[in-house]
Amino acid sequence: MKKTIVIACATGVATSTVIANRVEDLCKKNNIEYQLIQCKVPEVGSYEDRADLIITSGKSPRKFKAITIKATSYITGINDEQTDKDIINALQNN
């Protein structure tokens, strides 16, 4: 089943774009069917009901209804492989 992944950052254009790029590659490599929604953090509320996974570039302002993963490591390059694993895990086991 197609997974709905919401990727959010403050402006919805900069860091979320970097993260979206990586998540797309990750899904393709792992044969995960996906639909990406890229938005600003304050807009996440309108997608959280149908999201399978929410990925943010920083700390999320509140707890969302879907599993939420922080992917700052994709910006710093530190522990980014662990984030890959967490994302795949969340998509394959939910």
Partner 1 sequence: MKNLFNKELVFLDIESSNANELFKVIADDLKNKGFVNEKYYDGLISREKDFPTGLQLEDYGVSIPHTDSETVKKDFIAVVRPSFPIMFSLMEDNDKNIPVDLCFFIGLKDGKKSPLVLVELISLIQNHKLILSILNENNREKIIEKIQEVRFT
Residues that bind partner 1 (CB under 8 A): 9-11, 13-15, 17-18, 20-21, 38, 41, 57-59, 70, 72, 74-78
Helix/strand/coil for 4: strand
Q: Quick check: helix, strand or coil at residue 12?
A: coil
CB of 23 to partner 1, least distance (A): 12
Q: Which is nearer to partner 1, 2 or 59 (CB)?
A: 59
Residue 83 to residue 67: CA distance in whole angstroms: 13
C-beta of 78: minimal distance to partner 1 in Å?
7
1 class by beta-carbon count within 10 Å (0-12 exposed, 13-18 middle, 19+ buried): exposed
- Our CB check for partner 1 shows the closer of 66 and 74 to be 74
* In the complex, least distance from residue 93 CB atom to partner 1, rounded to whole angstroms: 24
Dihedral sign (CA 68, 84, 78, 19): negative
> What is the smallest separation between the CB atom of 18 and partner 1, expressed in angstroms?
5
